[in-house]
Amino acid sequence: MPKPIIAIPADIREFDGTSWHAAQNQYVRAALKVADVMSFIIPAFEAGNDTDALLDRVDGLLVSGSATNVHPSLYGGEVRESDGPFDPARDATTLPMIRRAIERGIPLLAICRGIQELNVALGGTLATEIQEQEGVWDHRKPQHADRDVMYSIRQDVVVAEGSCIARYLGTGRIPVNSLHRQAISKTAPSLQVEAIADDGTIEAVSVIGAKGFAIGVQWHPEYWAESDKPSRALFEAFGDAVRDYVKARG
């Protein structure tokens, strides 16, 4: 059986005075090496993408993390430049793809910015600069020259009993590398909270009544997917769901 192919929507990045459609290596590598699937990088445009035509050609959707944030206008939030940087082309690409992937039963794994996009796509809201809220930890990425230190596994999340991700990770406390300035505020009506941090921050969700695998996590399983057991388990489960989708589709 040929390897299935998943879509990874691109970020817009500026290099050498021009715009690039880019995806981080960690996500593409984790998809290939652990989920055992190949990837198409989907160009990000504010208009012109045919969402169904793109999804017709893939077997899964991986929505990655990013240095940019979802634009507040998409969830009724106050627009402050300090909450950026923003990437409106990515927003316009990912939100329709998320909604249609769920409707069509295409396996979906949303990571970091991805879980926030998933929540906004389904009608939820986000909290910005959460480290400024009373009782909330500073979840931001530490500044360090060594990326392994920056992305080190340093906090626990509590996985709810009976949740979807408990099938793959087990219940109770799981050590993760959760790095973010924003988080889910109002949970979308069709999302179920799967895991939380000790400060109450929502760290994982699933789509209620989804036809297939549809999970979002706030942490970064892609970074240690080849060596960390919970990270590997999540990517392997996504890969299995993609292969099941291919078989069911015939």
Q: How many of the other CB atoms lie within 10 Å of CB of 246? A: 18
User: Please, are residues 177 and 220 in contact by the beta-carbon 8 Å criterion?
Assistant: yes
- Active centre residues (catalytic): 112, 220, 222
Q: Which of 17-26, 51-60, 150-159 has the lowest mean pLDDT?
A: 150-159
Please give the span between the terminal C-alpha atoms of the chain, in angstroms, as a whole number.
12
- What predicted TM-score, i.e. pTM, was given to this entire model? 0.94
Q: Mean per-residue pLDDT for 142-163?
A: 86
Strand partners, 111: 217
Tens digits of residue pLDDT in 7-41: 999 999 999 999 999 999 999 999 999 999 999 99
**Token pair 């009782």: residue:** 135
Taking the C-alpha atoms of residue 128 and residue 140, their distance in angstroms, rounded to an integer, is 12
- Identify which has the larger pLDDT, 82 or 157: 157
Q: How far from 110 is each of 50, 115, 131, 146, 160, CA to CA, in Å?
A: 20, 5, 22, 25, 18
**pLDDT confidence of 130, banded at 50, 70, 90?**
low
Q: Mean per-residue pLDDT for 134-148?
A: 72
**pLDDT confidence of 184, banded at 50, 70, 90?**
very high
pLDDT value at residue 138: 65
To 10 degrees, the CA torsion angle through 121, 125, 130, 136?
-110
User: Please, are residues 126 and 68 in contact by the beta-carbon 8 Å criterion?
Assistant: no
Give the chain's domains with CATH numbers: 5-249 (3.40.50.880)
Specify the length of the chain in residues.
250
Taking the C-alpha atoms of residue 215 and residue 204, their distance in angstroms, rounded to an integer, is 7
